[in-house]
């Protein structure tokens, strides 16, 4: 009988084989459950912290700064895309299907999935916001121009608060027919040109209906198209009260037709407020899938645990 198959030697070889299996199993366990999760934790914490501490280079001026808005969104897009690329290079586990007892490995996979999904949501929302900002910025600039034409009491929008006595002195509201025509004829003429461009293509204005806004403008325009020619036939020195008193009952409806401007202006201003640059930026991060909050809270808790476990 060969030496290696003698009874004593068989037991020795059996022990050796079991030791090898045990060593390999222990080594595999160490690699999957201890070494790889630790390396992944350090890398993912670095990416997470980098996002949290990002400083934007763009000096965003706020509500009226659409160029700044686009620059900020471009920066966010670059930041989140870079972080997503870095995250995609990480491997939470070298094997796809992890057995339940490898808890650290399973946690790494869950962190990776949550982090990836969160970044995908941000990247998607920022992309949509970029498209919206580019499309709406031109509309809002025109809408503001129209508002100022129809608000002779304003010189800029939004109006800035100035110390008493330091603001621009505006002329009093027109009292006579001549004064009224001097103010409104040129303004309405310009407003028609601006409005034609403004309402040429439908826009998503959020809670405000584009069709309703356009309809109110057309009614407002029709009112002035009737009133201004009527006033041009009157004596310029007459007051509005005198003109109305002298106007036959059948023609007095012409004065009421311009009242639609009292509905149109608040709605137009609402559009400007809701769709200002600052709100577009805020709304870029509001639209999220149902599981977004769960993923963000779970990721935050997991990163906190990793920092406590693998702190230097």
Per-residue DSSP letters for 160-192?
Answer: PP--TT-SPPPPPPP-BHHHHHHHHHHHHHHHH
- Burial-class residue 178 by CB neighbours within 10 Å (0-12, 13-18, 19+): middle
Q: What confidence score (pLDDT) does residue 295 get?
A: 92
- 207 touches 274 (CB < 8 A): yes
Query: pLDDT digits over 84-141, tens only?
Result: 999 999 998 877 776 776 788 889 899 999 999 999 998 888 888 888 777 778 888 8
* Cα–Cα distance for residue pair 198/264, rounded to 1 Å: 14
pLDDT of residue 55: 65
Collapsing DSSP to helix, strand or coil, 176 comes out as strand
For residue 239, give the 3-state DSSP assignment: strand
- Average pLDDT in the 285-301 region? 87
Question: Model pTM greater than 0.75?
Answer: no
Q: Does residue 169 sit in helix, strand or coil?
A: coil
Give the pLDDT of residue 165: 53
pLDDT at 25: 45
Task: Report percent pLDDT > 70 for the chain.
Answer: 81
Say if CB 40 and CB 306 are below 8 A apart. Answer: no
Residue 11: is it exposed, middle or buried by C-beta count within 10 angstroms (0-12/13-18/19+)?
exposed
Cross-strand pairs, 176: 239
Alpha-carbon distances, residue 223 vs 211, 259, 261 (angstroms): 18, 8, 9
Residue 236 pLDDT greater than 70, yes or no: yes
> Would you say 221 and 177 are in contact if contact means Cβ atoms under 8 Å apart?
no
């Amino acid at each position: 009988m060969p030496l290696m198959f003698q009874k004593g030697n068989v037991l020795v070889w059996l022990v050796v084989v079991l030791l090898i299996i045990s060593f390999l199993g222990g080594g595999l366990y160490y690699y999957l459950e201890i070494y790889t999760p630790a390396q992944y934790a350090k890398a993912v914490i670095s990416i997470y912290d980098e996002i949290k501490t990002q400083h934007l280079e763009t000096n965003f001026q706020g509500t009226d700064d659409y160029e700044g808005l686009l620059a900020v969104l471009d920066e966010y897009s670059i930041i989140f895309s870079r972080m997503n690329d870095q995250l995609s290079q990480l491997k939470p586990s070298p094997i796809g299907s992890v057995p339940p007892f490898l808890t650290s490995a399973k946690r790494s996979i869950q962190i990776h999935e949550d982090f990836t999904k969160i970044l995908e949501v941000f990247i998607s929302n920022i992309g949509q916001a970029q498209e919206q900002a580019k499309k709406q910025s031109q509309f809002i600039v025109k809408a503001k121009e129209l508002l100022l034409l129809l608000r002779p009491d304003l010189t800029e929008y939004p109006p800035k608060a100035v110390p008493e006595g330091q603001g621009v002195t505006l002329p009093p509201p027109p009292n006579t027919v001549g004064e009224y025509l001097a103010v409104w004829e040129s303004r309405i003429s310009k407003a028609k040109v601006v409005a034609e461009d403004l309402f040429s293509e439908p826009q998503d204005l959020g809670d405000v209906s584009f069709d309703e806004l356009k309809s109110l403008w057309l009614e407002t325009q029709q009112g002035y198209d009737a009133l201004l020619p009527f006033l041009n036939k009157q004596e310029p020195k007459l007051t509005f009260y005198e003109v109305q008193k002298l106007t036959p009952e059948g023609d007095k409806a012409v004065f009421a037709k311009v009242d639609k401007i009292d509905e149109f202006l608040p709605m137009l201003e609402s559009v400007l407020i809701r769709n200002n640059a600052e709100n577009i930026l805020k709304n870029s991060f509001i639209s999220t899938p149902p599981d977004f909050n769960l993923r963000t809270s779970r990721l935050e808790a997991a990163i906190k645990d990793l920092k406590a476990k693998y702190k230097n």
